Structure 1
Amino acid sequence: MYRHAYQNGNAAYPLGGSGTFSIQPHKFQPRSHPLKRRRQLMTRLGIVGTLFCIIVFFFFPNLRPGGTSFGLFSSPEDSQIETVRYYDLSNVQGTARGWEREERILLCAPLRDAAPHLPMFFGHLKNLTYPHNLIDLAFLVGDSKDNTITLLKELLEDLRQNPDPKMQFGEMSILEKDFGQKVNQDVESRHGFAAQAGRRKSMAQARNWLLSAALRPTHSWVYWRDVDVETAPFTILEDLMRHNKDVIVPNVWRPLPDWLGGEQPYDLNSWQESETALALADTLDEDAVIVEGYAEYATWRPHLAYLRDPYGDPDMEMEIDGVGGVSILAKAKVFRSGVHFPAFSFEKHAETEGFGKMAKRMGFSVVGLPHYTIWHLYEPSVDDIRHMEEMEQEKKKKEEEEKAKKERMDKIKDTFDTPSRQWEEDKSKLQNLAQDAKKVADEPKKQVVQPDKIVEARGEEPEAKVEK
Structure 2
Amino acid sequence: MAVTRSIRRTSPITLVLAAVLSFGFLFFLLSPSSSSATATSTKSRQDDAADHPLSPPTKPFLKNQEYRSNGQRAPPPVVHYHMNNLTSTADPLANGERVLILTPLVRFYQEYWDNIVRLSYPHELISLGFIIPKTKEGNAATSALQAAIATTQSGPIDDRFASVSILRQDFDPPIDSQDEKERHKIENQKIRRESMSRARNSLLFTTLGPSTSWVLWLDADIVETPPTLIQDMASHNKAVIVPNCFQRYYNNDKKKMDVRPYDYNSWRDSDTAQALAQQMGPDEILLEGYAEMPTYRTLMAYLADTGEERKQNKVIPLDGVGGTALLVKAEVHRDGAMFPPFPFYHMVETEGFAKMARRLGYESFGMPNYFVCSLNASTRSDL
Aligned counterparts of 2:350 and 2:126: Cα–Cα separation in 1: 22
Aligned residue in 2 for 1:461: none
TM-superposed CA distance for 1:291, in Å, is: 1.1
Name the SS for the 2:352 alignment partner.
helix
| Greater fraction of residues in helix | 1
Aligned residue in 1 for 2:164: 172
Inter-CA distance 180–99: structure 2 relative to 1 (3 Å threshold): same
Aligned counterparts of 2:63 and 2:144: Cα–Cα separation in 1: 38
Aligned residue in 1 for 2:115: 124
The yes-or-no answer on 1:208 pairing with 2:206 is no
Structure-1-length-normalised TM-score: 0.63
The yes-or-no answer on 1:196 pairing with 2:194 is no
Letter in 2 for 1:136: S
Aligned residue in 1 for 2:101: 107
Match of 1:276 among 272, 276, 279: 272
Aligned residue in 2 for 1:309: 305
Q: Which has the higher contact order (CA 8 A, sep 6+)?
A: 2
Structure-2-length-normalised TM-score: 0.77
| Greater fraction of residues in strand | 2
Letter in 1 for 2:169: K
Instruction: Show structure 1 runs of 5+ residues with no match.
Output: 1-42, 47-63, 381-468
Aligned counterparts of 2:239 and 2:335: Cα–Cα separation in 1: 12
**C-alpha deviations, 1:215-266, integer Å up to 9, x for none?**
1001001001112123210111100010010011001111222216632111
Aligned counterparts of 1:236 and 1:65: Cα–Cα separation in 2: 39
| Contact kept? 2:214, 2:330, Cα under 8 Å | yes
Identity of counterpart residues, as a percentage?
36
Q: How many pairs are equivalent?
A: 311
**C-alpha deviations, 1:386-423, integer Å up to 9, x for none?**
xxxxxxxxxxxxxxxxxxxxxxxxxxxxxxxxxxxxxx
Aligned counterparts of 1:274 and 1:258: Cα–Cα separation in 2: 32
**C-alpha deviations, 1:4-43, integer Å up to 9, x for none?**
xxxxxxxxxxxxxxxxxxxxxxxxxxxxxxxxxxxxxxx9
- Structure 1's consecutive aligned runs of 4 or more residues displaced over 3 angstroms after TM superposition are 72-75
TM-superposed CA distance for 1:365, in Å, is: 2.3
Letter in 1 for 2:97: E
Inter-CA distance 66–379: structure 2 relative to 1 (3 Å threshold): closer
User: Matches of residues 282-431 of structure 1 in structure 2 within 5 Å?
Assistant: 282-311=278-307, 312-379=310-377
Aligned counterparts of 1:93 and 1:346: Cα–Cα separation in 2: 30
Inter-CA distance 207–260: structure 2 relative to 1 (3 Å threshold): farther
Letter in 1 for 2:263: D
Inter-CA distance 254–66: structure 2 relative to 1 (3 Å threshold): closer
**C-alpha deviations, 1:419-440, integer Å up to 9, x for none?**
xxxxxxxxxxxxxxxxxxxxxx
TM-superposed CA distance for 1:144, in Å, is: 3.4
TM-superposed CA distance for 1:347, in Å, is: 0.6
Aligned counterparts of 1:65 and 1:196: Cα–Cα separation in 2: 48
Aligned counterparts of 2:253 and 2:374: Cα–Cα separation in 1: 16
TM-superposed CA distance for 1:351, in Å, is: 0.3
**C-alpha deviations, 1:288-346, integer Å up to 9, x for none?**
11111112211100011100012321111110011101000111000000000000000
Task: Report the RMSD for the aligned CA atoms in angstroms.
Answer: 2.4
